Amino acid sequence: MNQARYSNIAILLHWVMALLIIMTWSIAIAIDDMPLSPARISWLSWHKWLGTTIFFMVLFRLMWRATHPAPPLNLVMPAWQEWVMKLTHLALYLLMLAIPLVGWLMSSAKGYTVNYFGLFELPDLVDKDKALGHLLKEIHELLANGLMILVVLHVLAAFKHQWIDKDGLLSRMSFCKSKDSQLEK
């Protein structure tokens, strides 16, 4: 089945953000048990820089989406699946906003100003508070792990549509035109 594609900008944002999210989460997992060292500080800086980039990109992505609606979804699926799909997309967007924001709050509470690749500093959002910093760290990790679970479910659902339902859903978020759309021309 031929599916209408997202714009190239939307597709680029989707895949770049997916890569950045996986990289940022992977860095956090890798450094979690590292002792304090220059390597840990360097990787933590990269984690913050990428997280801040994700935050800026999701803001841009939301503005883009507001002015460039999603193409029509040409699928027949049970109502519960459509409801779960919409709820999952909403949760993904909320988490992509909340996780960097909670990380920024955590850094502020721990007394570390967030800088962006040395170009500028983000203002501290709260005063230094060790207990709050610890709580925000726990929330940040919980939300990030929740996001990764949703990402895995999102990928599995896309594969199900592509290989089991064979409805061409992946072509909506692909730079390559599907064979069906090429045959129609």
Whole-number pLDDT of residue 178:
53
Whole-number pLDDT of residue 76:
81
Whole-number pLDDT of residue 174:
86
Average of per-residue pLDDT across 9-38:
95
Instruction: Please check the confidence at residue 1 and state whether its pLDDT lies above 60.
Output: no
pLDDT tens for 48-78 read 999 999 999 999 999 999 999 988 888 788 8
Average of per-residue pLDDT across 23-30:
96
pLDDT tens for 82-117 read 899 999 999 999 999 999 999 999 999 999 999 999
Please choose, from the candidates 5, 177, 25, the residue with its C-alpha nearest in 3D space to the C-alpha of residue 96. Answer: 25
Instruction: Please check the confidence at residue 185 and state whether its pLDDT lies above 60.
Output: no
Whole-number pLDDT of residue 15:
95
Instruction: Please check the confidence at residue 29 and state whether its pLDDT lies above 50.
Output: yes
Instruction: Please check the confidence at residue 10 and state whether its pLDDT lies above 50.
Output: yes
Q: How far is CA 171 from the centre of its chain?
A: 20
Domain coordinates in residue numbering, the chain? 8-179
Tell me which fold the domain 8-179 belongs to: Fumarate Reductase Cytochrome B subunit (1.20.950)
Instruction: Please check the confidence at residue 26 and state whether its pLDDT lies above 50.
Output: yes
Whole-number pLDDT of residue 177:
67
For residue 177, what are its two tokens?
């035109």
Whole-number pLDDT of residue 180:
46
pLDDT tens for 125-181 read 999 999 999 999 999 999 999 999 999 999 999 999 889 988 878 888 888 765 544
